Amino acid sequence: MIHFKRCFILITILSCLLAQGVSAQQRDPLPVPDLPGLRTLKCDFHMHTVFSDGDVWPVTRVQEAWREGLDAISITDHAGYNPHKDDVRPDLTRPHAIAAALAAQLGIILVPGVEVMKGDTHFNILFVKDQNAFFGLDLPDALREARKQGGFTFWNHPGWKQPADWFPDVAAIYDQKLMDGVELVNGHTYYPQAFPWIEARKLTILANSDVHSPTYPSYTDRRRPLTLVFARTADLEGIREALIARRTAAWMGGEVWGAEELLRGLWQGSVAVETPRLTFSPSQRQLSLRLVNRAALPFQLRLREAPKWLSAGGADIKPEGAAAVTVRLAKEAPQGESTAELQYEVTNFHAAPGQNLVVRVPLRIVNP
Q: Is residue 10's pLDDT more than 70?
A: no
- Who has greater pLDDT, 234 or 6? 234
Percent of the chain with pLDDT over 70: 93
Q: Is residue 331's pLDDT more than 70?
A: yes
Residue 358 confidence (pLDDT): 98
CA distance 314 to 330: 18
Q: Is residue 130's pLDDT more than 50?
A: yes
Domain ranges of the chain: 26-257, 267-367
Q: What is the mean pLDDT of the chain?
A: 94
Residues 6+ apart with CB under 8 A from 156: 46, 115, 122, 123, 124, 183, 186, 208, 210
Residue 25 confidence (pLDDT): 76
What is the four-CA torsion angle of 325, 266, 69, 319, rounded to 10 degrees?
Answer: -10
CA atoms within 13 A on the CB side of 258: 26
Residue 190 confidence (pLDDT): 98
Q: Is residue 338's pLDDT more than 90?
A: yes
Residue 72 confidence (pLDDT): 99
Q: Whose CA is closest to 129, among 107, 108, 114?
A: 114
Fold of 267-367: Immunoglobulin-like (2.60.40)
Q: Is residue 5's pLDDT more than 90?
A: no
Contact 66, 97 (CB under 8 A): no
CA distance 35 to 57: 35
Top-level class of domain 26-257: alpha beta
